[in-house]
Chain A
Amino acid sequence: MSFDCSVAVIAGGLSFEREVSLRSGGRVADALKERGYRVGELDADDQLVEALRGGQFDVAFLALHGRFGEDGTVAAILELLGLPYTGSSFEASRLAFDKLAAKSVLRHAGLTVPPAIPLAEGALRELGVGVLLDQAMGELGLPLVVKPNRGGSALGIRLVERPEQLPAALMAAFGYDDMVLLEQRVSGTELALAVVDGLATLPAVEIRPKEGWYDFAARYTHGAAEFRAPAELDPVVTERCLDAAHAAHLALGCRDLSRVDAILDDDGVCHILEVNTGPGLTTTSLVPMAADAAGISFTDLAAHLTDRAVARRPR
């Protein structure tokens, strides 16, 4: 079906993950061209709607990360235009992108998520919540993780090991969202669990950061972390983690592709940190790594996702 199909690969945008997204999009576009699709690369900017309205595209491949992309904004536009697209619907993307909302859904689905306390910038500035921060730290224990409620790629995420680090961590996180989470730090093995509908289960990827903390630099600098794909874990345990990831994908109503970030603790419990509906597709990204470990090339993966969207084309 690929040869008469024209794909708009949408990447970039005004998100802070613009650069990463452009790398993902470029790689997807190359792969699809190689497979014989006609491909147009579009930036998610004020020209986007005009470019999509022209009728020259049959389907859109979303290679967006972060706000105005992974949060469902562009999916909603595509719904309005009646253009099928890869990945999750507007509703599911929006839900998954909101870490607090997603946590509730996952917890109700019987999955384990680290406890977290939300903190709104307005509540700090206008309601004097600052006096309760010690109590919050007491409840969650240290170390804890401070992260923007919405956002990805570890931007604005800080590890707080001592109480005096909390204010700086909060200010850094508020740079990315006016709602911030104080989340209990679960220690254990960091896992990236790819869920791709319509493909055999992909192996879990184990992340071993060299500096002890998988921050932005470690994510995007070659060699700053070591990866094991498949993860070097007891197969029964790995299986349980992959099942949990699949359950999370379904619970949030995700479609086609998700990357579930999780931590496997020493008791064998899989804690779901977040579900990414627009996971990175760069050369250092985890989903392509998992596919590769399963013998699925990047080109096959990109074509598979595109074809799923094509199948949703109104007839």
Chain B
Amino acid sequence: MRADDPFRDRYARGTRAMTASEIRALFAVASRPEVVSLAGGMPFTAALPFDVVGDVVDEVLAEEGPSALQYAGGQGDPRLREVLTELMRHEGIRGSGGDVVVTEGSQQALDLLARMFCDPGDVIVAEGPSYVGALSAFSQYQVEVCHVPLDDEGIDPDSLADTLTRLERDGRRVKFLYTVPNFHNPAGVTLAAGRRDRVVELARRHNVLILEDNPYGMLGFENDPPDALRARDPDNVVYLGTLSKVFCPGLRVGWALVPPALRERLVLVKEAADLCSSSFTQAVAYRWFAGYPWRETLKALRDVYRERRDAILDALAEDFPAGVTWTKPAGGFYVWARLPDQLDSRAMLAKAITARVAYVPGGAFYADGQGASCLRLSYCFPPPERIREGVRRLGGVVEEELDLLRALGGVPMADPEDDPGRPAGWGGVQ
């Protein structure tokens, strides 16, 4: 007998679900230049002033080279932590640098917090749809993600209340509510001010910690979003921030602002994982936000994204067939579109890539098989004319799929592999 993989029986349970997928194979083609990618959420780093960034890097090496290239404390550069509390003030947060833990992007904070809190079988409540990277981070710890539907004003508090009550009654241990309140990934919506107090209050009543993930909050095109959840309940909200969207993701600088009671343990978990984040990139980030005109760069980025958001919304209105609905983001990177129920966005992807346009199928943003007829469109990276071209191509593909569906008698989809359910409640408005 020969078993193909000699390590087959030895993998940890948390990684066993990681398999090769058809979608991955398709994305290998989607990265080709011929394809308009509305798939990835890559910030447009080409808009950065590289000469100025170069000055910052030089300054770091000239003025603090030895320490910038040395190990440092696991909690992160104290100067950077102070600067980050300044950034958070924009969202009404009065935090102390002493309660900030610097991480490798906020993605690492998701991993560390799940590691710190979750045992197999625990529950994390999240929006439906939810950020795919968070779902991956959580799945390593074998938690069950329970989705609460979103609408155009963010997570629905009534459904949240029902879900928390039901889970409590069933004796499940809910470890946290994971939420992206501003310019949501993938849905593009923002949690309304009126709902924020309610969400905070529900979490407290059910004794559930909130993980507030806010990568896009400073990328509002018209207005700033309402004050953060953290501003409303500092003792029960962990706030996750990142410089990836307001500066650049290549530095890998993110952070968690935690309730004081959690700080020490999170630092220990962080040190166990990687000792410390890069001293060098933290020093660059600190100097960028302390002494350089970062607001101008942020404004330039916001202008770029606003123009692209306008391009995608115009193109969708023009080129998408009737029966498709989508959200209208007021900031951030994403539009969430819903096709007629019978269409399966995953099955449609091959055709789309053949037509030289890519998106992310909606199922990726659910842990439970929902989202089959939805898709995420990112407008952050391609220039406006490519976005219009991509949407035009995709509109054609959707038309063809609808034709084919009609020819098949409009029979509802029954995917033999996934048999996805229908997401409850949420229909994005056009």
Which positions in A face B, CB cutoff 8 Å? 14-20, 22, 45, 121, 124-125, 128-130, 133, 153, 155-156, 158-162, 164-165, 167-172, 174-176, 215-217, 219-229, 232, 284, 289, 293
Contacts and interface: CB of A to CB of B under 8 A. Distances in A.
Given A124-B407, A125-B404, A223-B5, A158 B26 contact: no
Contact of B414 (A22, A165, A220): A165
Contacts of B4: 222-223, 225-227, 284, 289
A164 B411 contact: yes
B247 to A, nearest CB: 32
A229 B4 CA distance: 10
B401 interface: yes
A165 B26 CA distance: 23
A125 B59 CA distance: 65
A134 to B, nearest CB: 10
B26 A16 contact: yes
Contacts of B8: 222-223
Given A14-B32, A130-B408, A175-B347, A164 B25 contact: no
Given A216-B21, A228-B2, A167 B408 contact: yes
Interface string B346-360: 011111011000000
B309 to A, nearest CB: 29
28 contacts: A17-B25, A45-B32, A133-B408, A161-B416, A164-B411, A164-B414, A167-B405, A168-B414, A168-B416, A169-B416, A171-B404, A171-B405, A171-B408, A172-B344, A174-B351, A176-B350, A216-B21, A220-B20, A222-B4, A222-B8, A223-B3, A226-B3, A226-B4, A227-B2, A228-B2, A229-B2, A232-B1, A293-B2
B405 to A, nearest CB: 7
B409 interface: yes
Given A158-B417, A220-B25, 13 more contacts: A14-B32, A22-B28, A155-B22, A167-B411, A170-B404, A171-B347, A172-B350, A217-B19, A223-B4, A223-B7, A223-B8, A227-B3, A229-B2
B416 A159 contact: yes
Interface string B1-20: 11111011001000000011
B373 to A, nearest CB: 12
Given A156-B350, A222-B5, A165 B416 contact: yes
Contacts of A160: 416
B350 A170 contact: no
Interface in B207-258: none
Interface in B278-294: none
Interface string B335-376: 000000000100111110110000000000000000000000
